[in-house]
Amino acid sequence: MPEAPAISVVMPVYNGERFLAAAIASVLAQRHPALEIIIVDDGSTDATPEVVKALPAPVRYVRQENQGPAAARAVGIRMARADVLAFIDADDLWPADKLERQLPVLADSSVDIAMGYTQPMVMTRPADDIPALRPVFRPRLALSVGASLFRPSVFERFGQFDENIRMGEDLDWLLRAREGGVRIRLVNAVTLLYRVNPDSLTFGKDTSELAFFRILKSSVDRRRVEGTVLAPLERPLGRGAR
């Protein structure tokens, strides 16, 4: 049986004391034998450092002045030592079979990124008054770094996240990578549980505020000038997410 590849999991966090422990628990629940967890604290002012100290598994923790998620991810990427790179935000979760479903895709050495579906989740309050999460809407195929696994070399080929972008920096990077010919293969599975969090940077914002239209327009403008055609997302056999 081939040895399981080592995986570096990068978590940028800013004031994530409420959700961080659950996010890390969802990573540890994968029961992958070679996990390196890197937490980059982007200048939190809450109890995030104390939550990190209480985690049930060792992590590599670094703190910096607040510079935004792109800068925090860049620090984590530079620290990463594994063969495969993954990301999770402090308020998101991994489904239990994420790595089981995605790692086989990267067994094909020509694939750069394995990408799955994202399931939006909302907080509910059951009768016993303990908050829980439930799915809302159908799983969606979004260009999401949290729903993907990466070969670290892609960040050498296509550069880092743009630190000038505070919201949508992951979409910007993935579009630039697609323009550069990155090879992405899709997985018919939910690989990220996206918590709809009222405290997040993007909650309740108008799309124009989020600059997503500007990011998309920039990609279209680059493609028009350079005559670039986006590399296709390679779909596996079958349809939909499981």
DSSP, collapsed to helix, strand or coil, labels residue 99 as helix
Q: Is residue 1's pLDDT more than 90?
A: no
| CATH number belonging to domain 7-234 | 3.90.550.10
Look at 240 and 184; give whichever has higher pLDDT: 184
Look at 130 and 114; give whichever has higher pLDDT: 114
DSSP, collapsed to helix, strand or coil, labels residue 106 as helix
What local confidence, expressed as pLDDT, does residue 204 receive?
47
The burial class, CB within 10 Å (0-12 / 13-18 / 19+), for 206 is exposed
In this prediction the pTM is 0.86
9-68: per-residue pLDDT in tens? 999 999 999 999 999 999 999 989 999 999 999 999 999 999 999 999 999 999 999 999
88-98: per-residue pLDDT in tens? 999 999 999 99
Sorted by where each begins, the domain ranges of the chain are 7-234
What local confidence, expressed as pLDDT, does residue 42 receive?
98
Look at 2 and 116; give whichever has higher pLDDT: 116
User: 184-195 and 233-234: which strand pairing?
Assistant: parallel
End-to-end Cα distance, the chain: 26
Q: What is the mean pLDDT of the chain?
A: 87
Q: Is residue 80's pLDDT more than 60?
A: yes
